[in-house]
Every structure is written in structure tokens, then in C-alpha cells.
Structure 1
Amino acid sequence: MSLLRVSGLSRSFGGLKAVDDVSFALEAGQLLALLGPNGAGKSTCFNMVNGQLQPSSGSILLDGHELVGMRPRDIWRRGVGRTFQIAATFNSMTVLENVQMALVSREKKTFGLWRPAGSHHADEAFALLEQVGMSAHAKRACGVLAYGDVKRVELAIALANRPKLLLMDEPTAGMAPQERHELMALTRRLVTEHRIGVLFTEHSMDVVFAYADRMIVLARGKLIAEGDADTIRNDARVQEVYLGTGKTFRPHAPLQDAANNAHNGQGSLQ
């Protein structure tokens, strides 16, 4: 059984079909990239999996359990974590406190005034920060961190509920090439260690072709292609949609090659 199985997913806004009969599957330990030009339906599809939008029709199964009709918080407690295009942390709180708050939320507990929430789960929060390379910054306020470090904290927060599935909305947006690859290499390691399935959207094609196990491509709400890097790169429909050949991309390209491509303006299947 696949970790995530999406079947016949559709969403209409008035007379517009933003997502039209989309189906795909994601296995545990796999990174699946959701691609498409602007207006393709990526965000709508992504938000339906997360429960922020309800589909007009279709099914979303996580470990065989239907998610359609559930609220985002209930989906989160089912084991679905999420990071956002713009990092969502509490700037005035310390790095450690941000992760502690996520852990308190996972336990569904409230605490009396005699025992502040910040006193809970300190060891577990610190261990999560160690996993993402941020333990040395535990006592710093999130508001003073470099953006790449904030994204690492957000990843630790997403891992706090021990997710089976992690949804990452443009995880490397706003990051320099080296930071992008460091974050995705870290994500790859954690996915492998914990057997997490990852569904992510991303506009940086150097990241997609270097780290995604499989890709699905949407255009005008419909799924037009799916497969590994070579399959997607050579698909005529994908080339037509993106007005390019994709020949500049290579799976698992060295970091310097990817950085050079980004600097030269190559690789923008947008």
C-alpha cells in the first residue's frame, strides 16, 4: 500500500476547473516533486492534500485512511507535517521555544500558569534541532537568524509531530544556490532515516532534478506527465508547456554545476 494515494482529485471555482481528475501515489521514503507553470493547479492540489481546501470530488488516502473532509489540524495529527514558502516561525521566541511549542501542540495538552509551556519537551526539542543542525542556535531569537537557518528551524517544527508525510511548499524559495542544496540534502537524509514521504513544490529546477525521486507535472489542472528525471526531461508535452527542452538539467548534478546553471539563468521550467 502506498503511503499517499490521490485518486480522481478535482476542484472547481465557479466554472473554472483548477484541478481536473488528478491521480498519483507517493511511497514512504520518497521525494515527489509537484511541478507546473503558473496557474497549473499546483497550489490548489497541494492545499487539498493539506486540508486547507476541500476537493469537489476525489479521494486522498494516507496509509489507507481518507483525509477528505478532515480539518488541517486533524490531518496534522494524522501525521502530515508542512513547511511554507514563507517560513512560519515566532520571531520573538527562541529557536528552542518554537520547537517546544510544536511539541506541546502535538501532545494536545494545556498547562496551568504554574508550569509554563516553555518548560516542556526541552530535551526532545533540542534533539530535533540537532537533527537539522541548529542546536548551537537554540537560545537565539528566530527573528535574528539568517533566512536559511529559519528554514531549518521550520523543518524541525514540521518534524515535531513525527510525520509520515511532509508537505513542503517551495522549500528553497529565497535561498542562495548553496543554501538550497544544503537544505535539500538535509531533507533527503532525514527522509531516508525516518522513512518519511515528501510531496514538494519547487521552482528551482536544479533542486528538483538533483533530489526528487519522481516528478508529476500539471498543466491547466490536468496531470500531463509523471516519472523520473529522464522521463520528465524528455517528455514532449512537458517541453511544450515550459517552452524549452530541459536538456540543461542533469539528475544529481554537482553543486557547482547547479550553481552555475542558476547563475546563467538555465533551468527555469516555470
Structure 2
Amino acid sequence: MTTPLLEVRNLRKRYGGVDAVADVSFDLAAGEMLALIGPNGAGKTTCFNMLSGQLRPDAGSVRLAGRELSGLPPRAIWRLGVGRTFQIAETFGSMTALENVQMALLSREQRLFSLWRRAAAQFSDEAAQLLDAVGMAAQRDRPCAVLAYGDVKRVELAIALANRPRLLLMDEPTAGMGMGERHALMALVRDLARERQLGVLFTEHSMDVVFGYAGRILVLARGRLIAQGDPESVRKDAQVREVYFGSSAGQPA
């Protein structure tokens, strides 16, 4: 049996007397698209922050390709092959798309700017290749401040790919995007996951994105997993319909 890329076991985070995340366990395979959904306050962001090292779990285990991540700082987890994008895209607006990706590559190699060698000369080819992979080659020399929001999200994806991750965490990747942009971005991520055998865990409020692109879905409510499985089984789950609609009559669309 193949060992999962990501193994999460009994993950827990408690604030006062409230479990923000309680005994959450799941696996993620290389090349798989896994969605983590739930109503506001379900614990999705807390779970993400524990996986990326921004929060230390109170209990539980997070293993990437057999390596324990719990307790490591975010920088160490990033260097072990965990990339992340955020709900609000984080790029340097005054820099070009190419320069933003070059900065990520410089960080990966732990290089400082040199008085004898301009930073712009470093990793230019690799940065251009990453932008080409996300469909941004034609806009490589434009400042991020003037790019359409969907294009900024693509640049952020290229930045996340700069450390050659095995696992990509995407927090609300299509937030603020129109329908066409949402589907174009997620189709791109799906193709990259398959080509690079990249495990992708994403949170998302747009159910058309979740049910259109996730191979499996995890559903959180009040910090606990209440359902998991393929999109069709989750769509039909009575408890999931109750959580989202307050009635077993509806279903995620």
C-alpha cells in the first residue's frame, strides 16, 4: 500500500474551553485535490495554520512523506516542501511579476542581494518558466499593481511553486474572482497537481469550485470532521445539508 503524502492524525487546537479543531484526521495523496469546507467558524483556517506551522497544535500529528511537521516553524515547513497561497493575494505591487517570483527563488536559495551582481540577473530563466507554467509569460514584465486580480492570483501561485513543493495549501484561492477566472485558475491547479504529483489541500466557499475540482471533500463543523468522501457522497450526506442549509432538504450546488 502506498504511503500517503500527507498524514494528519487527531489534530487538536483548543482556545479556553472551546475546541477550534478537535481530533481531525485525514490523508492526502500525491496528485490529489482535496477540499476542506465548512461554515464560518468551522475551524478551517485554524487547521490550515497548524499544517503550515503558524499555529502549534495542542495535540496530534502532521506528517509529510513520513516526516513529522508538528512543532516546526513555518520557514522549516516551507523548506520541507509545503507551499501556501492566501485568501488575499500577497505580492509586491511595485515589482513586476517576474521580480516577485525571483524574490521567492532567492529566498529558496537563501541568497542575499550582491553589490557585484544585480538581483534582477538571478534566477530570471527559472522565474520565467514558472510564470509560463501558470499562464503569465506574456505579462512577466508588468508590475503586479496593474494586473487584474485573477492574474495576481496566478503570480501568487507561481511564487508558491518556487520552492518546488510536494504539498500546496490554498486558502480560498478563488476569493474575489469572477466565475470564468475561478474555473480557469482551478483547472490550472488541477493540471499542475497531476503533472507534478503535487498534493493540493484547499478551502473554498464557492461550491461550484469545490464540487467541480476536488477529488475528495472534507467537511468541518465546530472543529470536527462530520463527513468526508467523494463529491457525490458528500453532496448526498444529510448532516452536510443540515449544516449548510439548516434542513435536510437542500444540498450544496
Indicate whether the TM-score tops 0.5. Answer: yes
Name the % identity: 64
Residue 86, structure 1, aligned to residue 108, structure 2: no
Q: Does 1:187 align with 2:189?
A: yes
- Note if 1:223 corresponds to 2:225: yes
Distance 2:108 2:60 in 1: 28
TM-score, length-normalised on structure 2?
0.96
**Partner secondary structure for residue 203 of structure 1:** coil
> Root-mean-square deviation (CA), in Å?
1.2
TM-superposed deviation, 1:116: 2.2
- Deviation, 1:248, is 6.3
Number of residue equivalences: 250
- Give the Å deviation of 1:192: 0.6
Residue 192 of structure 1 aligns with an amino acid whose one-letter code is R
Contact 2:11–2:25 under 8 Å retained in 1:
yes
Q: How far does residue 171 in structure 1 lie from its aligned partner after superposition?
A: 0.2
> Cα deviation per residue 1:65-108 (whole Å; 9 max; x = unaligned)?
00011111110000000000000000000110000000111111
**Change beyond 3 A, Cα 1:241–1:104:** same
Over residues 140-192 of structure 1, what are the superposed CA-to-partner deviations in whole Å (9 max), with x where a residue is unaligned? 10000000000000000001111000000000000000100000001111111
Alpha carbons of 1:195 and 1:245: their partners in 2 closer, same or farther (altered >3 Å)? Answer: farther
Query: Which residue does 2:4 correspond to in 1?
Result: 2
Instruction: Give the secondary structure class of the aligned counterpart of 2:127.
Output: helix
Structure 2 spans left out of the alignment, 5+ residues: none
Decide whether the 8 Å contact of 1:92 with 1:143 is kept in 2.
Answer: yes
Matches within 5 A, 1:50-61: 50-61=52-63
Query: TM-score, normalization: structure 1?
Result: 0.90
Structure 1 unaligned residues grouped into runs of 5+: 250-266
- Answer yes or no: is the 8 Å Cα contact 1:233–1:245 preserved in 2: no
Aligned to 2:14: 12
Q: Which residue of 2 aligns with 1:97?
A: 99
Match of 1:69 in 2: 71
User: Which of 5, 22, 25 is the aligned partner of 1:23?
Assistant: 25
Rounded to whole Å, the distance in 1 between the matches of 2:249 and 2:85 is: 28
**Could you tell me how far apart the structure 1 residues matched to 2:111 and 2:94 are?**
23
Q: SS of the residue aligned with 2:13?
A: strand
1:15 CA drift (Å)? 1.3
Contact 2:170 2:202 in 1 (8 A): yes
Distance 1:95 1:6, change over 3 A: same
Question: Counterpart of 2:91 in structure 1: which amino acid?
Answer: T
**Cα shift readout 1:190-243 (whole Å, capped 9, x = no counterpart):** 111000000000000000000000000011111110000111011111111111
